[in-house]
Structure 1
Amino acid sequence: MDARIQNSVVANLSGRPAPIHSGPFVLGIDLGTDSPGINYATPIPGQPLSAAGVAAMVAAFRAQNRQPRLEYVVSTAPGLEALLLAAGFEVEERHDYLTCSPETLSIPPTPDGFALRAPSTDADRAAMIAAQHLGFAGVAEAAPDQVARMSRLQSRGGIAVMAVETATGGCAGGGQAVPPHDGVSEVAGIAVPSAYRRRGLAAAVTADITARLFAAKAEIAWLEASGPDSGRIYERIGYRPAGKRLYISQP
């Protein structure tokens, strides 16, 4: 399972607007933003790792004026963390990832007063992104490059779902999933502003995205929980802990 998840990350980064292959790494470069959360690298499973390879990867990041940063499934790159630490990298976070299959998915009812649908216009996408930012950081904003990125994700076979308050038409949260690779897709960006929490919207949005993936013939959906509370939400709809991921960057 770890290898399938890691290979899906490699495929996702390779689909970025300006990916760079540097030895055993692929860098998912997006020229529209310098955000480290968008521009990061991951190792290709089975490729030999070395200090020289890490140095070349760092140089590739610096040539693009991007911060060297990686996200990866720990078991698929034995010894890489030590090489990165020796090169001045610092651990940001360690996460469990969870997986879901069609057999384990449990779809809850959509909370009363809300509807779930895919954003179909740039105005929809901007409203969903603003709601996600409000849920994550408390600031509602949606930059044009972020709207374009979501549109591009949908055009490549990715999925986005927004929760809409039926009485007002306002967006109450949302999330997305990357285009599946080898039957595997990452679900991410699940966020609900504080005013709409504790109604079951996060679970409903996550389950709807996951169901759409399986309807499109995906076999495995995976995601990461930001903490115990979100982990319990995901487990209730059929996600199960499956492995470890590392976030690490060079200042």
Structure 2
Amino acid sequence: MDTTVQNFAVANLRRRPVVIENPSFVAGFDPATTSPYVNYASPLPGAEPTRREVAHLVAAFRERGLRPRVEFALSTAPAVEPALRAAGFTTEEVHEYLVCTPATLTMPPPAARDSAFVPRARTPHTDEEFDAIDAALAEAFGSEFDASPEGGARLRRIQDAGGVIRFVPSPGGGCAGAASCSAPAAGTGELSGVGTRPAFRGRGVAAVVTAEVAAEMFARGARSVWLESSGDGPRRIYERLGFRPEGTRLYLSISD
């Protein structure tokens, strides 16, 4: 599965508005944001980077005022880690990723009819809905990024390009929580941006949007969907839906 996930990561970076490549790395950039979760690089499977290729990669980030950052499944390119560390990269994070397939997906049980709030997933269509999703995710993830018109536009581009986005409207308007998945590549898709506003946590929002996004991806022919999980609470939700641990991804960056 590591190779499938790595092939997806490379293909997904090539969808960015700006793409820089050399024989070992693909870096994707979106000039509308400085977010490190959007602007990063990943190696080609089997890459054995030279010092010149690493320097070229670092320069691509520095020219844009960004922190050099690389994400990848370690087993797919063992020579990459020592080459990057020799250039000053250090560990930012190590994430386990979980995978769901059509055979393992388990839809969450319906909420009780007498519940004051019943989460129901919807597909966004209007700019207002995309902006509401961006605002909800910004609140859900704390200080990781700020809501912006560019964020809403980016979500629309994901959906227009073949990705899947689902959100749960909040009772008073806006968005209670959402999830998104980029268009599939290499038979898989990354389910990311799963977030619930604090006021709606513990009510099944994350489970509903995650399951609905995965189900739609499978309906479109994806053989798997994967995500990274942090924290025991979210992981338990994903495991109940049929996600199973499959591998590890390493994040390396150069501190500013």
In which range does the TM-score fall when normalised by the shorter chain? over 0.9
Query: 2:24 and 2:87 mapped to 1: Cα distance?
Result: 16
What residue is the counterpart of 1:227 in the other structure?
231
Query: 1:238 and 1:231 mapped to 2: Cα distance?
Result: 11
Matched, 1:152 2:164: no
Shift of 1:42: 0.2
The answer to whether the Cα contact below 8 Å between 1:109 and 1:204 also exists between their aligned partners in 2 is no
Q: 2:186 aligns with which of 172, 182, 185?
A: 182
Query: 1:33 and 1:141 mapped to 2: Cα distance?
Result: 10
Change (3 A) 1:140 1:186: closer
Change (3 A) 1:182 1:140: closer
**Stretches (4+) displaced over 4 A:** 138-141
Matched, 1:50 2:55: no
What residue is the counterpart of 2:168 in the other structure?
163
Query: 1:178 and 1:127 mapped to 2: Cα distance?
Result: 19
Matched, 1:92 2:92: yes
> What does the per-residue CA deviation read over 1:64-106, in whole Å, with 9 as the maximum and x for residues that have no partner?
3322101111111103222212211121110100001000000
What residue is the counterpart of 1:38 in the other structure?
38
> What does the per-residue CA deviation read over 1:168-205, in whole Å, with 9 as the maximum and x for residues that have no partner?
33311001001101221000010111111111211111
Aligned sequence identity (%): 44
Shift of 1:50: 2.5
Matched, 1:195 2:190: no
Query: 2:110 and 2:12 mapped to 1: Cα distance?
Result: 30
Query: 2:193 and 2:222 mapped to 1: Cα distance?
Result: 19
Q: Select between 229-238 and 129-138 the one with higher mean Cα deviation.
A: 129-138
Q: 2:134 aligns with which of 122, 129, 132?
A: 129
SS in 1 for 2:65: coil
Consecutive unaligned residues of structure 1, counting only runs of 5 or more, are none
Q: Over aligned residue pairs, what C-alpha RMSD do you find? A: 1.6
Query: 2:119 and 2:3 mapped to 1: Cα distance?
Result: 38
Amino acid corresponding to residue 39 of structure 2 in structure 1:
N
Consecutive unaligned residues of structure 2, counting only runs of 5 or more, are none
* Equivalent pairs, count: 250
What residue is the counterpart of 1:103 in the other structure?
103
Q: Select between 60-69 and 208-217 the one with higher mean Cα deviation.
A: 60-69
The answer to whether the Cα contact below 8 Å between 2:97 and 2:245 also exists between their aligned partners in 1 is yes
Query: 1:11 and 1:25 mapped to 2: Cα distance?
Result: 12
Amino acid corresponding to residue 209 of structure 1 in structure 2:
V
The answer to whether the Cα contact below 8 Å between 1:5 and 1:184 also exists between their aligned partners in 2 is yes
Shift of 1:141: 5.0
- Give the structure-1-normalised TM-score: 0.95
SS in 2 for 1:115: coil
SS in 2 for 1:174: strand
